[in-house]
Amino acid sequence: MVKEPVKKRIIGIDPGYAITGYGIIDKVGNKFEVIDYGVIETKAGVDFPLRLLAINDKIRFLLEQHKPDFMSIEELFMGHNHTTVIGTAQARGAVLVEAARAGVECYEFTPGQVKLAITGYGKAEKKQVQLMTKNILGLKEIPKPDDAADALALAITLANTGTAFSGKAVSGYQYGRYGYSKRNEGFV
């Protein structure tokens, strides 16, 4: 009896409060199928809680419609603009709340981990990652906009590397991969 390959459905999320990218793929054995991708856009000038609600509502819809097994989300990093990172963190939180509600396990990756998993080089240029994403998924053109392509790359990263390569999305800067041991279920 031939054993059927396991199918995994993964949603990748590139969080942002102006634009949140999403990409949903199936991986069966070594083959990928793109299910859906796009962006959730919110407009400047709209009350911020309403922008977060719009992101939350669309993520809820996507999770209910596509029923992914896992979520791959970009880990936040502090750049020079702290105001932007705080808003992005809040958008990321709106996404993670819906994943928790739906019972979807979430894993986070740094941009460098995504670049390494997609291109084999952790400091690859954005265009290289997009081109490889297109090629890996067998698409005719690079997915647009960039946020959707980034979300698909995040989904591929989890599909190809598994959960051992990433940390659970638990707020890495507080206690996630930087001091929490899943093995010991406590701090190290």
Q: Which residues are catalytic?
A: 14, 74, 147
The burial of 17, by beta-carbon neighbours within 10 Å (0-12 exposed, 13-18 middle, 19 or more buried), is given as: buried
What CA–CA distances, in Å, run from 176 to 19, 90, 149?
Answer: 25, 17, 26
Cβ-based burial of 41 (10 A; exposed 0-12, middle 13-18, buried ≥19): middle
Question: Residues in the chain, how many?
Answer: 188
Cβ atoms of 134 and 6 closer than 8 Å: no
What sign has the CA pseudo-torsion 38, 42, 48, 53?
negative
Where do the H-state alpha helices sit in the chain? 48-66, 82-102, 111-119, 126-137, 146-161
Angle between helices 146-161 and 126-137 (to 10 degrees): 60
